[in-house]
Structure 1
Amino acid sequence: MRPARSDPELSAEKIVQFFVRRWRIEVTFAEVHRHLGVETQRQWSDMAIKRATSCLMILFSIVCLMANTLHKAQAIRPNTTAWYNKKAVTFSDVLSAVRMEI
């Protein structure tokens, strides 16, 4: 059950619980936007947007789960080149490691 936005009867604990639940969703969408470049597609139909976004979020989750398993076996290292020395692993590196494993 979704609470009303301004329900004065909610306890402080319930308000924090709703905030934390909402925060997880917001972070997930921000990560999908940042790593996969998902934007709002205004020219698409509503149903196409729902399908595409859901599929991309599922794909992102599968890649992260697979990368976690790979990382436990052997640390995933950042891909570097002669002109660009990365210090931290990016999603591109994770995706590359998963592709190599597949």
Structure 2
Amino acid sequence: MWRRSKHAAVTVAAERIDRLHELARAAAADGDDDRARYYVRLARRVAERNRLALPREFRRFTCDACDAYLRPGRNARVRTRGGHVVITCDCGEQARYPYEP
């Protein structure tokens, strides 16, 4: 029986995560938040199964608590505070990321 190599599986998983990120962004732009949330959950499951880290842009624009795709000014508030950016989701979850002022 032929088995796909681990490298090929990881490559396919990474491509799928990128595609799901694009779909989540497009769905959120169209106002379909439930579909965007579905794509985010699916991408996280793919990453977990293949032991991959999600890309930085994907992690920064998703809420860890409710899996919403965050759009600043629409369902997320972005503030800067003393060397870090604070992103607050509509659900109340806050994420902090450092930056160099």
| TM-score with structure 2 setting the length | 0.31
Q: Which has the larger radius of gyration?
A: 1
**Which has a greater percent of strand?**
2
* Structure with the higher helix share, 1 or 2: 1
Report the TM-score when normalising by structure 1.
0.31
